[in-house]
Amino acid sequence: MNIKGKLTEIFETVQITETFKKREFIIEDSKNPEYPEFIKVELIQDKVDLLDNLSVGDQINVLINIKGRKWEDKEGNIRYFNSIQGWKIETDNESINQEVQENKDNSISEDDLPF
């Protein structure tokens, strides 16, 4: 799955435990400009560095996994939580470069001409 949109906010990396860290960011999905959606995505462990070369305002495509958890509180109440975890971030430039490269690979070279 993926979410495509504008990077609107980047939060600092948080060290949750000695061995676990995460970083969150907000992406504006404006498929419907009248009602844009602001979606919080988290990056964990070695993926927190994916945001280092990005800036607020960048157009990005985030490849995600949706995670769900069940939790029981002290009173025995069951709660459910969902999280959206990013595992790869592409900028529009990367997507365009990839499309151009694919088109080059599919084009006919002079060696392929029948004459």
Write out pLDDT tens, residues 40-65: 999 999 999 999 999 999 999 999 99
Q: Please state, in angstroms and rounded to a whole number, the distance separating the CA atoms of residues 3 and 13.
A: 21
Q: Does the predicted TM-score (pTM) go above 0.85?
A: no
pLDDT of residue 114: 61
Q: Please state, in angstroms and rounded to a whole number, the distance separating the CA atoms of residues 49 and 40.
A: 17
Nearest to 60 by CA among 11, 99, 94: 94
Q: Please state, in angstroms and rounded to a whole number, the distance separating the CA atoms of residues 51 and 110.
A: 42
Instruction: Name the pLDDT band for 93 (thresholds 50, 70, 90).
Output: low
Q: Please state, in angstroms and rounded to a whole number, the distance separating the CA atoms of residues 24 and 8.
A: 11
The domains found in the chain, sorted by start residue, are: 2-106 (2.40.50.140)
Asked whether residue 111 carries a pLDDT value surpassing 90, the answer given is no
43: exposed, middle or buried (C-beta count within 10 Å: 0-12, 13-18, 19+)? buried
**DSSP notation for the chain:** -EEEEEEEEEPPPEEEETTEEEEEEEEEE-SSTTS-EEEEEEEEGGGGGGGTT--TT-EEEEEEEEEEEEEE-TT--EEEEEEEEEEEEEEHHHHHHHHHHHHHHHSPPGGGS--
Mean pLDDT value across residues 79-93: 93
